[in-house]
Every structure is written in structure tokens, then in C-alpha cells.
Structure 1
């Protein structure tokens, strides 16, 4: 008899820890060295975090606000929130300080995960402050004199009893916010069943399996990232890799050579510009010959030379030497850029962010320095 398919993200994680406990699920480059975690280690860490949150009073009626660049701690504590039947509110980390503070205050977030010490100091000044502010790295934490601020690692050190997974398939797993064009604050909420349904479609269409290598080079602060990278990672059971930081992501991608890339239009445009800087000047004789090689001349020899002398070296520059599933999340590429990647043998497939954004009906929105405020004390 076949097993019943897992219906929530925590259930999928738990299933992976039982079916492939010793397989490497996640790697993070830290101080130049790749650190590895197995599926069993991930499941244990998520459950420890869920227990620690529960001990601090976190429950279904709460939401965890996550402000972070891509790093394993942010992903795992977000999954811990979903483990308890609640949701993670994923906020773009590049927002100006005043906007982050205003948004956190208006959302009334009692539980917050922040990556940078600068963000911790900003959120400490909220009135009222969060009940629990979790800091990703304990270095420098001594400079913050607030008892409700705790380092991520301290949540894992306590003796704990793993809590039961409380999530159900119709529960909201992730929530996103953005300012709307109509002057209202827009919210996007994505349920477990939506994530898993769309992940299965992606896995079937792209033929993804546990052998894939993917790089998480952007924060999980968009619906597309959780739909087409996070959920497929759990379902297909492949390896998810985190770059050391935003400055090293291109070098880390070249070193890794991922088979799956899930980027935005901005990602591909940035890589396109990087390649253009490596090419001869437009109109030069060298550029003419290079473009001929990219188009591919007739005959096996011409195609072979074009691959090894032009296409392969250019793909190596951006870490696309092994990529077979180049995904574009959201807005499609301009024709010129899409054609250039296709000439390299990288046929980018667009996967739109299918969820709708809805203005919150019960609140009024006022612009604040290019951002918006939600005039409500209600939870996200």
C-alpha cells in the first residue's frame, strides 16, 4: 500500500528525515568552507526551534516576522513557525531602516528573526518591543542590553521535547507585503496546499529529482522563491546551497555549478551585464567572430568549436556550466537577453508568481518615505 502524500511543509520535511536521513539536504558556505546538514539534522533543528518558540509563548495566533538575507537560520526558523500551525512573514531585507521599523511596528509583531545587528538595534527601539527578538549571530550581541533579544543558537541549547506538527494543509504558511498602486497595503498569503501543488507541477515539468544542486542566492522574501525553490526542494529532496553572502554569490555559483537556478529578471539581467563586460567591443572584428560562433555555423566541427571556445567558457563565468533548469520567477526577460542566453544553450523558462495580491480592506494606507503603513494593530 502506498503512503499518503504529505500535505504540509513540515510533514514533507519529516518524511524526508525518515526516508533519506543521511542525505545532504542543505549546505551553507561560512568563512569559505561549505557546512553541511542532513535531512535528519534539519528536521531535528526545526523541531528544536519550534519547541523553543512554543516555550516562549508562540502559538497559532502569532506570526513570525523574518528579516534576513538568504541563510539557513532564516529558512529553518520560518519552517519552525509553520510547524506550530502559524505563518512566517518574510520581509525584503534591503528596505530602508525607517521602513522596516514602521512596518514591524504596524504589524504588531511579537516574534521577530533578524539577521543583522543593525536590524536588531532598530527593532529594540520599537514601542512596545517584540516579546522575542531572535538574532542570527551571537557576535556583537553583548552590545544590545535587552533581555528579550536572544541569539539563534541559544534556542537550540535547551533540553526540549519535540512538539507535534500542528500545521494543516489549508493553513497559511507564508505572508508577504508590498505597497499597492491604489494607495492600499497589499498582502499575499500562500497556503501549504498551494505551495505543494505548484511545486509538484514544477517538479514534473522540469523533471527535478534528488540529484539536483540549487543555489539560494536571494532572500526568500517573494512568493516565487517559496513556490519554485523552497517547496520543490522539500518535495524533490535535492540539495539547497546558500552562498556565503551577496558579495560572494557569483564566485560561490561558479564553484558550485548548480543544475537548478531560480532567479528573477534582475538576476538574469545582472548576469547578462556581467557577460557583456567580458565580451569584445560591439562592432569589432573579434566581436563579429564571437557572435558567429554563438549562432553556430553549419557542420559538426563548427558547432563543437563554438561550444568549447565560446559557449562553455561564457557559461563558466556565471556558474552555468551544469545548469539544466534555468528558471525565471515572475516578469519575463527582454527578448534580447532571452535570445543571448538561448545562444549560450541556456533556455530560460518563465514561471509566473501565480498568487494574487490583495489590498487589506479594513485598513487605510498612508505613504511614508516611499513606503506605506498599515494602520492596524491586528496580526499580519
Structure 2
């Protein structure tokens, strides 16, 4: 429940309101961790709440209003998430772009969007923005290594330090757009997917209840919510259940970081599980060898105490450790189903991957600019 100045309370109706609620409920508990230079750096719920408030104040001073959109161009890192929440705190939305997409196509998209506010991870992303010939009102970045700031560009830490005491109020947001995603349709036209706070919270509550998620969970955010399914089934549940969200040091280290962390919750895609399956297959002993026959025996579905105990000790537990699934109790699949052999492999390890659909609705925006947020109705729908 969110408590207001008049003493009243109600169920949080937006992502920032859930952040506010968790900060009051478990302020000293760890909300986020990010591995840097091999060491996990932690932020408590109270620290995350204060940082998002500070960013929201800094954005507000620079003209970010309720109908504005923040473009986020970043790999997995806490600052990207907190910047998105700050934009939403002011009633705006965050457009999440994946920096692993080809530069040429993404620069074309950026020119079409003409963003006034951008969060870029570091130099590489800033150069992509500059290469598009854009001059946003504010472009702030988390990694200052090698960056020589140009007009309108500012370091994240300095922006936050100079935010002052501004404490923007939370507007009513249930039906407003929280996140936007973009892609090219079959006809080459730009398509957009919008997800409202109401939709995110409905899906997030459904997942929390079905999987019995609580504050004790550990999750790894390896794709920085660059897809709608990650926002529905990882970000929203994180805020609702109040568990710990961990960011790998980099995409290159995510598998090692997963093994070290041993998350209890994994929200992966077909590509995630397929990549892990391929890695294990490349390391297994040759088929027909003595070790190969032992693996086949241990992964086969056979009843019996000997098979369960010996197969787990010799094969299944070591393979789960290699995958980073040693403690995983909620292995989720978001989006397209797994190939049969991949599903069977994880099932043989005792990992029952459960599918959660990604009900994405893509639309081609009108040729003329239109508000991305203001046309949402109170029930989360759009006017006809």
C-alpha cells in the first residue's frame, strides 16, 4: 500500500509507486547488485528510491514532462533501469533500444524518433547517437571512460549529484505507457509496441502468485529489459515481490556470473536456453563412450532411488552447477517455445522450464508525430 499525505492508502498503481512501497517496507534490504571489476556492488531499496527521485528531479529541471520519452541505449546495468524509472516517475515513458542491434538501422530509427532525452551507456553508444546527427536536449551516460562530453551531454554521476532537493510528485499512471519498443516490420516500416503500467502490473502479479515469488529470490538481468517479456516477467515482479535483481559485469561474463550467483529465478528466452544447451553439449563426452553412456543413463527418465540419487550426484548436479542453475526453482521461458531436444535436456536435469507468453502487439505509428503516452486511457487501452 502507498501512504499519502492525507493518511490514505491504496495499492500501488505504477512501477515507481511499487518502488516507493518497497523502500518503505524494506529500505535497508538489497534491491540491486552489479558486478564491477569482479566485485558485487549493492544498492538498497532506500538507495534505489533516492537515486530514482534524484534523477527524476534532474530530468524535470531540464524540461522532461509527462508526455516525454527517454530513449535508453544500454547493455545490462542498473543506471539504465533507474533512468527508465525516473522517466516513469514524471509520467513519461522509456524506449528501450538494444546497442547490439546493427548501428546503421538503429541510427535510422534514432533519426525518426528525434529524441530530446537519451540515456547512453558509454562512449560507443554516444558515438552511435552522434553519428545519427542528433542534438538531444540531454544525453547522459554511465560509463565516462574515453568520453569528451559535447553540448547537451553529461555524466550520470554529475547529473545525479547536481539534482538538488527537487522531489517531484508521482502523477496517476495506471493507464500510461511505461515502456516502448521498436522494430522494422515486414514492409520496412517502423513498428512500435507500448506497454502500460497497468498491463505490467497485471502480468507481474500473475507471475508472482503462480510461482510463489518472494523477497528471498535472486534473479539475473542479463538482457536489460530490451524486450517486452523481460519487462513483464522480470522487472515488474522484482518491484512487486521485492527480491534482489543482479546485473552481470558484461554480456561476455554473464554465464560465469550466473554460475557464481546461482539465481533462484531465471527469465530466459529461446535463445538463452538454446545457447546454454549448446555450451553443455560441446563439453559432454563422446556418445558411446563410458562417460557418455553414464550421462545418457543419468538424464533418462527412470524411476528408482538409485537412479535419482546416483544420477543426481554424478551428472545432474555438476551439470546444473556448470549452467548456473544449482539453486534455480523458477526457470521461466518468455516468448517462443523451446525445441523438443532442448526442453527434454533441461527436464532431464530436473529443470522444468515453464513457458510464459509474450503478448506483444506491434503497430505502425502514424506518419505525423503523435504523443506516445498521453493518448492512453485509464484502463490501459488506447482510444479508437
- Coarse TM-score class (shorter-chain normalised): over 0.9
Matched, 1:90 2:96: yes
Alignment partner, residue 254 of structure 2 = 249
Identify unmatched segments of 5+ residues in structure 2: 2-7, 373-384
Return the offset for 1:128: 4.4
Alignment partner, residue 43 of structure 1 = 49
Residue by residue, what CA displacement relative to the aligned partner does 1:338-362 show, whole Å, maximum 9, x if unpaired?
Answer: 01100000010111111311222x2
Alignment partner, residue 13 of structure 2 = 7
> Partner of 2:154: helix, strand, or coil?
strand
Residue by residue, what CA displacement relative to the aligned partner does 1:121-144 show, whole Å, maximum 9, x if unpaired?
Answer: 2323444411111111122223x4
Matched, 1:108 2:111: no
Contact 1:296 1:303 in 2 (8 A): no
> Partner of 1:154: helix, strand, or coil?
helix
Distance in 2 between residues matched to 1:195 and 1:36, nearest whole Å = 25
Task: Give 1:152's match in structure 2, choosing from 152, 156, 160.
Answer: 156
> Partner of 1:359: helix, strand, or coil?
coil
Contact 1:210 1:236 in 2 (8 A): yes
Contact 2:81 2:224 in 1 (8 A): no
Call closer, same or farther: CA 1:184–1:122 in 2, change over 3 Å: closer
Alignment partner, residue 339 of structure 2 = 334
Contact 2:66 2:92 in 1 (8 A): yes
Task: Give 2:30's match in structure 1, choosing from 14, 24, 36.
Answer: 24
Residue by residue, what CA displacement relative to the aligned partner does 1:222-258 show, whole Å, maximum 9, x if unpaired?
Answer: 0000000000000000000000001111110000000
Contact 1:86 1:167 in 2 (8 A): no
Distance in 2 between residues matched to 1:156 and 1:132, nearest whole Å = 13
295-304 or 35-44, which moves further after superposition? 295-304
Aligned length: 365
Distance in 2 between residues matched to 1:129 and 1:229, nearest whole Å = 33
Task: Give 2:58's match in structure 1, choosing from 52, 62, 79.
Answer: 52
Distance in 2 between residues matched to 1:294 and 1:147, nearest whole Å = 59
Distance in 2 between residues matched to 1:107 and 1:33, nearest whole Å = 37
Distance in 2 between residues matched to 1:286 and 1:173, nearest whole Å = 51
Matched, 1:137 2:143: yes
Distance in 1 between residues matched to 2:134 and 2:294, nearest whole Å = 65
Contact 1:141 1:151 in 2 (8 A): no
Alignment partner, residue 176 of structure 1 = 181
Alignment partner, residue 87 of structure 2 = 81
Alignment partner, residue 283 of structure 2 = 278
Alignment partner, residue 214 of structure 1 = 219
Alignment partner, residue 123 of structure 1 = 129
RMSD between superposed Cα atoms in Å: 1.6
Distance in 1 between residues matched to 2:291 and 2:58, nearest whole Å = 61
Call closer, same or farther: CA 1:281–1:167 in 2, change over 3 Å: farther
343-352 or 155-164, which moves further after superposition? 155-164
Contact 1:107 1:378 in 2 (8 A): no
Residue by residue, what CA displacement relative to the aligned partner does 1:97-126 show, whole Å, maximum 9, x if unpaired?
Answer: 222221111101010111130221232344
Identify unmatched segments of 5+ residues in structure 1: 364-375
Distance in 2 between residues matched to 1:334 and 1:147, nearest whole Å = 49
Alignment partner, residue 381 of structure 2 = none
Distance in 2 between residues matched to 1:171 and 1:185, nearest whole Å = 21
Call closer, same or farther: CA 1:210–1:29 in 2, change over 3 Å: same
Distance in 1 between residues matched to 2:199 and 2:254, nearest whole Å = 30
> Partner of 1:113: helix, strand, or coil?
strand
What is the 5 A alignment of 1:226-241?
A: 226-241=231-246
